[in-house]
């Protein structure tokens, strides 16, 4: 793996990839009610558009790391941005929910490689003591997506149509391709044959589990079928665990879980995001479907959360140095869970500006949470296992988002079907309380970190 001097534009290219994904997801969340109306569907039935995207990304991320090492990081990154851009154009042409879901899958094929390859390239390019600062930097420009996305999405669906929320990706994608062609390094590593059997076992396991959750959400499938799919998923996953111990280079190297910080970071990501993952979907739906606000108002409100997310980035490194990863993640997770639960306090008759302090609080501590969890997961990786560790982290992030969306939708549906709440707005508020409690409970995961964990990454000798 030899490549010349690292281009000063590399972090900006990685930030562009994050920007495209964040812009796409935040615009879509705000526009879902309008898309549902145009496609003659209920807004509460649109989670498949989100789940299809993140599940496809989770399935193909393991392939992205192998492709990057085999054919070159620059080549695969440019291919990924190209596919993502084409997929965005096809989404804009969709005339039905099924077609939109299919086109989102194509878009996700590009997205599955775009961010993981750029992050892997950063790991290869920068020494460990600079990595936290670089990761923190690339998320700041990338998080402009959530600032622009909600308002832009609400504005576009009101003055034009929802199709433009996908067309906006096209000029950004073209610019990214041109810049990457000149500034993106082309790392190649001899990595052997692709583990096709392991890929099939692992992928079918995830698909079965996701389908069981999706069927649980729509309520149109019997509990027996849901249980069969769940058992099939567990059986396939168990088969993969046995199989992976017998091959030299498994698609997901479970031996990497012997790295304690990676294991805790992965488990923490998965459990914490069960509560956090559904919030970006629930908030726009609550504001529009529950409180009757317009898409533009909904988008403007979410800006406050996005701006505080960016502001929080400058606090992460000082807080890590001051408290250490263990204390920071435990207490930050608790505060984040409380802030999610606070969204249940306002109702449809409450002046909407009372949501602003809660949105600021949520955005700030959510930002600290994401950066801290991701960086501690990467803290003990070396160039030898960086690709595998990065793959596991990326898969976990996407899976947990998918599970979070499904779980929040199941909880919301349960409240809607119960006799406890007579208004849909009350069901949304109760759902957010449950998501907040799940997040608070997940803080116990990080107690297994040691006080000195991540000290090398944060650039200090010891963290008390």
- Domain assignments of the chain as residue spans, ordered by start: 10-194+251-458, 195-250
Give pLDDT tens digits for 48-105.
Answer: 888 888 888 878 877 887 888 888 888 999 999 999 999 999 999 998 888 999 999 9
Task: Give the span between the Cα atoms of 388 and 250, in whole angstroms.
Answer: 10
Look over the chain and give the mean of its residue pLDDT values, rounded to a whole number. 83
pLDDT at 6 over 70: no
pLDDT in tens, 325-341: 899 999 999 999 999 99
Position 257 pLDDT exceeds 50: yes
CATH of 10-194+251-458, one of 1.10.1660.10, 3.30.70.20, 3.40.50.720, 1.20.1250.20: 1.20.1250.20
Query: Residue 464's pLDDT is what?
Result: 30
Per-residue pLDDT tens over the stretch 436-461: 999 999 999 999 888 877 766 555 44
pLDDT band at 463 (very low <50, low <70, confident <90, very high): very low
282: nearest Cα among 96, 92, 438, 106: 438
| 111 or 333, which is more confident | 333
Q: Taking the mean position of all CA atoms in its chain, how far away is CA 171?
A: 23
| % of the chain at pLDDT higher than 90 | 20
pLDDT at 191 over 70: no
The Cα–Cα gap between 299 and 295 comes to 6
| pLDDT the model gives residue 142 | 60
* Angle at CA of residue 91, ends 90 and 94, nearest 5°: 95
Residue range 300-307: mean pLDDT, rounded: 83
Helices of type H across 277-294 = 279-285
Assessment of whether the complete model's pTM goes beyond 0.75: yes
CB of 339 closer than 8 Å to CB of 365: yes
Cα distance between residue 56 and residue 109, in whole Å:
7
* Residue 240 to residues 205, 259, 397, Cα–Cα distance (Å): 9, 20, 20
Task: Between 463 and 164, name the one with better pLDDT.
Answer: 164
Longest pairwise C-alpha distance within the chain: 65
What pLDDT score was predicted for residue 134?
79
Percent of the chain with pLDDT over 70: 91
Q: What is the DSSP letter of 6?
A: P
Cβ proximity of 250 and 199 under 8 Å: no
Closest Cα partner for 142 from 54, 61, 21?
Answer: 21
Answer whether 22's CB lies under 8 Å from 149's CB: yes
Going by pLDDT thresholds of 50, 70 and 90, the confidence category of residue 220 is low
DSSP 87-130: HHHHHHT--SHHHHHHHHHHHHHHHHHHHHHHHHHHHHHS-HHH
Residue 143's pLDDT is 62
């Amino acid at each position: 793996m030899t490549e010349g001097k690292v281009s000063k534009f590399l972090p900006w290219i990685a930030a562009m990839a994050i920007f495209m994904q964040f812009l796409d997801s935040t615009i879509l969340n705000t526009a879902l009610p309008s898309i549902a109306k145009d496609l003659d569907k209920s807004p509460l039935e649109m989670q498949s558009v989100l789940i299809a995207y993140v599940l496809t990304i989770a399935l193909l991320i393991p392939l992205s790391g192998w492709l990057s090492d085999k054919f070159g990081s620059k080549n695969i990154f440019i291919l990924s941005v190209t596919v993502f851009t084409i997929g965005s154009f096809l989404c804009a042409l969709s005339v039905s929910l099924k077609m939109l879901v299919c086109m989102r899958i194509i878009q996700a094929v590009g997205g599955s490689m775009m961010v993981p390859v750029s992050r892997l390239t950063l790991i290869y390019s920068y020494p460990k003591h600079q990595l936290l600062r670089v990761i923190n930097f690339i998320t700041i420009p990338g998080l402009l997506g959530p600032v622009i996305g909600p308002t832009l999405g609400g504005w576009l669906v009101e003055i034009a149509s929802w199709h433009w929320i996908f067309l906006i990706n096209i000029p950004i994608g073209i610019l990214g391709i041109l810049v990457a062609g000149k500034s993106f390094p082309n790392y190649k590593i001899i990595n052997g044959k692709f583990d096709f059997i392991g890929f099939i076992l692992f992928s079918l396991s995830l698909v079965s589990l996701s389908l069981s959750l999706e069927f649980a959400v729509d309520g149109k499938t019997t509990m027996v079928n849901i249980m069969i799919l769940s058992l099939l998923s567990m059986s396939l996953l168990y088969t993969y665990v046995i199989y992976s111990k017998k091959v030299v280079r498994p698609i997901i190297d479970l031996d990497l879980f012997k790295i304690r910080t990676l294991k805790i970071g992965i488990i923490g990501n998965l459990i914490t995001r069960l509560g956090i993952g559904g919030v970006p979907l629930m908030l726009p739906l609550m504001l529009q479907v529950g409180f009757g606000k317009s898409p533009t108002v909904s988008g403007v409100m979410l800006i406050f959360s996005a701006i505080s997310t960016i502001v929080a980035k400058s606090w992460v490194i000082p807080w890590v140095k001051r408290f250490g990863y263990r204390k920071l993640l435990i207490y930050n997770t608790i505060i984040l869970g409380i802030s999610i639960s606070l969204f249940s306090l306002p109702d449809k008759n409450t002046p909407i500006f009372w949501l602003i302090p809660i949105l600021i609080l949520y955005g700030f501590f959510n930002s600290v949470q994401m950066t801290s969890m991701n960086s501690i997961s990467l803290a003990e990786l070396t160039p030898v296992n960086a690709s595998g560790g990065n793959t596991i982290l990326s898969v976990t992030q996407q899976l947990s988002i998918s599970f979070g969306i499904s779980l929040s939708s199941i909880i919301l549906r349960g409240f809607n079907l119960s006799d406890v709440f007579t208004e849909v707005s009350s069901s949304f508020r109760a759902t957010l309380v449950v998501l907040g409690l799940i997040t608070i409970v997940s803080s116990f995961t990080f107690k297994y970190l040691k006080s000195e964990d991540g000290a090398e990454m944060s650039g200090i000798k010891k963290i008390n």
